Amino acid sequence: MAISVKDVKHIASLACIDLDEAQEERFARQFNSILEYFKELDGLNTEGVEPTYHVIGLNNVFREDVVEPSLPQEEALRNAPKKEKGYFKGPRIV
């Protein structure tokens, strides 16, 4: 399966990215290069290799939750461009 410039244009459109013609051609080449590498990986003998989603044996290392004092309200709001009744005020979204 090859990625065409038309495919790159479609992907760019979905991502809302404007690309010029040179970039479209460059990305098409890069995508195809990546796909070629996947074909190379498909040819590897993985017999006897246990499937994994993580290549090293490190698991998540969590720290204990420690309650620490927070900033006083006045200090937290000191540099806020807009505040109202002790809260940060942001632009209306809806």
Output the six-digit token pair for 27: 């990305």
Task: For residue range 7-55, list pLDDT tens digits in order.
Answer: 999 999 999 999 999 999 999 999 999 999 999 999 999 999 888 877 7
Q: What is the Cα–Cα distance from 55 to 38, expressed in whole angstroms?
A: 18
Q: pTM of the predicted model, to two decimals? A: 0.52
Tell me if 52 sits within 8 A of 45, measured CB to CB. Answer: no
* Per-residue pLDDT reduced to its tens digit, 63-92: 899 999 999 999 999 999 999 999 999 999
Q: What residues contact 54, with CB distance under 8 A and at least 6 apart?
A: none
Task: Break the chain into its structural domains and give their ranges.
Answer: 1-31
